[in-house]
């Protein structure tokens, strides 16, 4: 078994309104910054033991499917590296 870190990045699907990001963008603009757009992502780093990277990715994928992301509004991606 090898210890891996699976990084799960969860973001809103394109086109889904993100009021918190909009508010943050406006706050940055009030501070004098110029920007076109701002997006939030949520990033989870999961340490787990698996026989290989594929198994680690599969398990992290299922975690995203079942809890970390809401498929109605979110897309997600999983990256695995050796811890």
Q: Are strands 41-50 and 74-82 parallel, antiparallel or unpaired?
A: unpaired
Binding mask 3-22 for another protein (x = CB under 8 A): -------------xxxxx-x
Q: Whole-number minimum distance, CB 23 to another protein, in Å?
A: 5
10 Å CB burial of residue 26 (0-12, 13-18, 19+) is exposed
CB under 8 A: which stretch of 29-37, 45-53, 57-65, 68-76 binds another protein? 68-76
Nearer to another protein, 16 or 83 (CB): 16
């Amino acid at each position: 078994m090898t210890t891996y870190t699976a990084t799960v990045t969860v973001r809103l699907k394109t086109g889904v309104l993100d009021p918190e990001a909009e508010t943050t963008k406006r706050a940055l603009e009030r501070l004098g910054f110029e920007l076109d757009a701002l997006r939030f992502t949520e990033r989870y780093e999961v340490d787990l033991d698996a026989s290989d990277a594929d198994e680690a990715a599969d398990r992290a994928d299922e975690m995203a499917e079942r809890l970390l992301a809401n498929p109605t509004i979110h897309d997600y991606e999983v990256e695995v590296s050796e811890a």
